[in-house]
Amino acid sequence: MTKTAKENSASRRKFLKGGLAAGAAAATLAAPQVSRAQTVNLKMQAAWGGGIFLENAKSYVDRVNAMAGNALKIDLLSVGAVVKTSQMQDAVHRGVLDAAHYVPAYWYSKSKAASLFGTGPCFGWSSQEVLGWVHYGGGQELFDELMASLGLNVVSFFNSPMPAQPLGWFKEEIKDASQMNGLKYRTVGLAADVMLEMGMSVVQLPGGEIQPAMKSGLIDAAEFNNPTSDRDFGMQDVAKNYMLASFHQSQEFFEVTFNKKTYESLPAELQAILKFASEAENANFYWHNTKRYADDLVRLQEESGVQVHRTPDSVMSDQLKAWDVVVDRISAEDAFFAKVIASQKAYAKSVMNYLNLNQPDYKLAYKHYFG
């Protein structure tokens, strides 16, 4: 081999070596960075022992687990698995639990303002608009301010806009607010203050204790949330008059809360999954639960002989007056409560002005087709 040939051969080897090295470097840059870290496991306790609300909690968890892949996994525990429902927020704060799935009314005793995030007065809006206020009207910032003032190490997201809750189960049809005077009635949150203002004797009980309490006579009437859950509890076995429509809890949704230190230790993409899975569950909840509620209402009527009545407007008008008294009283005592109320009113006045002017009368269309 001549010198020139040797030089050409060496040059080719150098080129090939350099090309392979460059190719390897390019491949390294182009390839996805697959983490080999261990899966992050979070323990989330739900406030539900079964039924449709536990299904809803599982739906949120399934969304997170599907999106996070091997990076993160939430283990869902049912009610009472680690702590009592009343202790769940403290357990998340302390890190005994990583997360919880419940409603703010369940820790209402710490701050009456908690009930404004889901079970507050109705300013002409539904759960959908209250969630709009949370996301785009300053509600989330006010909630975070409340958490800071209480010294709680938690981060919360809200989802699942619930339809207005029925007035509940009674021994006889309620035709006038005077019939409720003196009745021992189960509800929770600020609704308890409203019903007290209307003359009822209020008992706050967890869901699983409602039916036995009514069966034993501890309470005379009760509400929980919806036809499906009420049917699962067996309320049709202790009362036959079901009053639909009420302003006592006309808008509510779930709170998904995480230990703040644990949440902030996660990579940004996992934090985003926990947040946006909550938003995605909004639509799924409404589509899924509304149909179930509708079907179970018919089953209560046809299979259990339940008499379904719409709560009279006169009763609901009295509820609004009771809300005014309760809100004014607490606002005079609690500046933060008053601040949240002012924020909600401003949002509701603006948004509902548009919706009320724009929305057609859906009930008119329903009557046209179905009578």
Q: How does pLDDT run across 219-254, given as a tens digit for each residue?
A: 999 999 999 999 999 999 999 999 999 999 999 999
What is the mean pLDDT of the segment spanning 318-328? 97
CA distance 329 to 331: 6
pLDDT at 47: 96
pLDDT at 27: 38
What is the mean pLDDT of the segment spanning 16-25? 40
Do residue 221 and residue 174 come from a single domain?
A: yes
pLDDT at 29: 35
Do residue 175 and residue 282 come from a single domain?
A: no
Torsion of CA 154, 159, 160, 161, to 10 degrees: 110
Query: pLDDT tens for residues 91-127?
Result: 999 999 999 999 998 898 899 999 999 889 999 999 9
CA distance 356 to 367: 20
Helix 51-68 and helix 268-304, axial crossing angle in degrees, nearest 10: 150
pLDDT at 37: 62
Residue range of the domain that includes 55: 40-161+251-290
Residue 175 resides in a domain: yes
Query: pLDDT tens for residues 204-217?
Result: 888 889 999 999 99
Residue 126 resides in a domain: yes
Do residue 66 and residue 189 come from a single domain?
A: no
Amino acid identity of 173?
Answer: E
Do residue 140 and residue 60 come from a single domain?
A: yes
Do residue 100 and residue 209 come from a single domain?
A: no
Query: Is pLDDT at 34 greater than 70 in this prediction?
Result: no
Query: Is pLDDT at 21 greater than 50 in this prediction?
Result: no
CA distance 83 to 236: 30
Residue 5 resides in a domain: no
Nearest in space to 77 (alpha carbons), one of 28, 119, 43 = 43
Do residue 63 and residue 198 come from a single domain?
A: no
pLDDT at 12: 41
Q: What is the pTM of this model?
A: 0.86
Do residue 69 and residue 187 come from a single domain?
A: no
- DSSP secondary structure, 101-142, as one string: EE-GGGGGGG-GGGGGTTSS--SS--HHHHHHHHHHSSHHHH
Q: Can you read off the two tokens belonging to residue 91?
A: 């357990």
Domain boundary among 290, 321, 340: 290
Q: Which residue has the higher pLDDT, 305 or 3?
A: 305
Q: Can you read off the two tokens belonging to residue 9?
A: 């051969």
Residues 6 or more apart in contact with residue 221 via CB below 8 angstroms:
168, 169, 170, 171, 180, 183, 184, 185, 186, 214, 239
Q: Can you read off the two tokens belonging to residue 78?
A: 């049912």
CATH number at residue 74: 3.40.190.170
Domain count, the chain: 2
CATH number at residue 343: 3.40.190.10
Do residue 47 and residue 186 come from a single domain?
A: no
Residue 3 resides in a domain: no
Query: Is pLDDT at 36 greater than 80 in this prediction?
Result: no
What is the mean pLDDT of the segment spanning 248-273? 97
DSSP one-letter code for 225: S
Q: Which residue has the higher pLDDT, 309 or 106?
A: 309
Query: Is pLDDT at 218 greater than 90 in this prediction?
Result: yes
Strand order in the sheet with 154-162: 72-77, 40-46, 99-102, 252-259, 154-162
CA distance 279 to 347: 20
What is the mean pLDDT of the segment spanning 151-170? 96
Residue 207 resides in a domain: yes
Write out the E strands in the chain. Answer: 40-46, 72-77, 99-102, 154-162, 168-170, 184-186, 201-203, 221-222, 241-244, 252-259, 307-310
